[in-house]
Amino acid sequence: MAKEVSNGANQVTSKPPPEPSPLRRAKFFQANMRILVTGGAGFIGSHLVDKLMENEKNEVIVVDNYFTGCKDNLQQWIGHPRFELIRHGRILLTSTSEVYGDPLVHPQTEDYWGNVNPIGVRSCYDEGKRVAETLMFDYHRQHGIEIRIARIFNTYGPRMNIDDGRVVSNFLAQAIRDEALTVQLPGTQTRSFCYVSDMVDGLIRLMEGDNTGPINIGNPGEFTMTELAETVKEMINPEVKIINVENTPDDPRQRKPDITKAKELLGWEPKIKLRDGIPLMEEDFRKRLGISRKN
């Protein structure tokens, strides 16, 4: 049914998004999945591919460079000559907690619109993800594409790029190399860290469920950067020093997901605590760096 919205003397009629193909609920579709993973060789993507491959009925295709960007993915989808046959598929966007910017609401819920500097040094990533969410919903409303949007918070675990600049990988690599742990000032800024296997489980539950999202996927355990550095020092290398360095502009002062929706709609919450995940990541980093733990 079309929905009428009154605006003074004028009436604007808007129609709901087209219904997805009934093939979405067909038994053969549920039994045998063809899954395209863009970015499947990356950190989270590679773990997601591993999990999807555990089901022998799944055909998983990994693409890193051919499809570039959310708009290209969506445009290729609706431009496919057999679109009416493939519209029953779903597309999942891994958005980010960065859409909340430097939040004025804590913890962050999905209905919070964020506090983002649109011209800052970090803004290209923040705004890129925000516009990607916009595109997803526009294609959903106009073309009936089934979408799912996850807002993922800080994630850590094996296969992270050792020198990618993320705080957990930075601290672990520094501790393993006997280097000082560099905490950006003031050190009181907070983050919440989700182990990668928990993240993958949340993404799969979102993709398989009926809720479009956005839904926060993250671990609500909150740590200051100084607390994180002290934890890594204690667990990895008690001999290293912790020093302060200058911070980057627009660094969020706090970040913590409200995962009420994930719990209620997906039956998901993280299982692995930071102190349990760090040793698993340390083992992977030591193998790649070729540095054994001292006796």
Q: Choose the weakest-confidence range: 53-57, 87-91, 104-108, 160-164.
A: 87-91
Q: What is the DSSP letter of 46?
A: H
Report whether pLDDT(20) > 80.
no
Report whether pLDDT(55) > 90.
no
Report whether pLDDT(17) > 90.
no
Question: In the predicted model, what is the mean pLDDT of residues 161-169?
Answer: 93
Separation of alpha carbons 294 and 292, rounded Å: 6
Question: In the predicted model, what is the mean pLDDT of residues 247-255?
Answer: 92
Vertex 235: Cα angle to 234 and 236 (nearest 5)? 100
Report whether pLDDT(23) > 60.
no
Question: In the predicted model, what is the mean pLDDT of residues 170-193?
Answer: 97
Question: In the predicted model, what is the mean pLDDT of residues 202-211?
Answer: 95
Cis peptide before 249 (omega within 30 of 0): no
3-class SS at 24?
A: helix
Q: Choose the weakest-confidence range: 24-33, 99-108, 183-192.
A: 24-33
Tell which residue, 87, 82, 113, has the closest CA to residue 99. Answer: 113
- Report residue 29's pLDDT band, with 50, 70 and 90 as the boundaries: very low
- In this prediction, residue 4 carries a pLDDT of 37
Q: Choose the weakest-confidence range: 32-41, 105-114, 120-129.
A: 32-41
Separation of alpha carbons 89 and 76, rounded Å: 13
Specify the higher pLDDT residue, 64 or 245.
245
Q: Known catalytic residue: 125?
A: yes
Give me the catalytic one of 66, 100, 112, 125.
Answer: 125
Separation of alpha carbons 276 and 89, rounded Å: 36
Separation of alpha carbons 260 and 58, rounded Å: 30
Specify the higher pLDDT residue, 132 or 15.
132
First-to-last CA distance in the chain? 71
- Report residue 22's pLDDT band, with 50, 70 and 90 as the boundaries: very low
Separation of alpha carbons 129 and 96, rounded Å: 7
Question: In the predicted model, what is the mean pLDDT of residues 176-199?
Answer: 97
Among 52-66, 136-150, 217-231, the range of highest mean pLDDT: 217-231
Report whether pLDDT(233) > 60.
yes
Tell which residue, 158, 28, 44, has the closest CA to residue 92. Answer: 44
Q: What is the DSSP letter of 292?
A: P
Report whether pLDDT(3) > 50.
no
| Average pLDDT in the chain | 86
* % of the chain with per-residue pLDDT over 90: 65
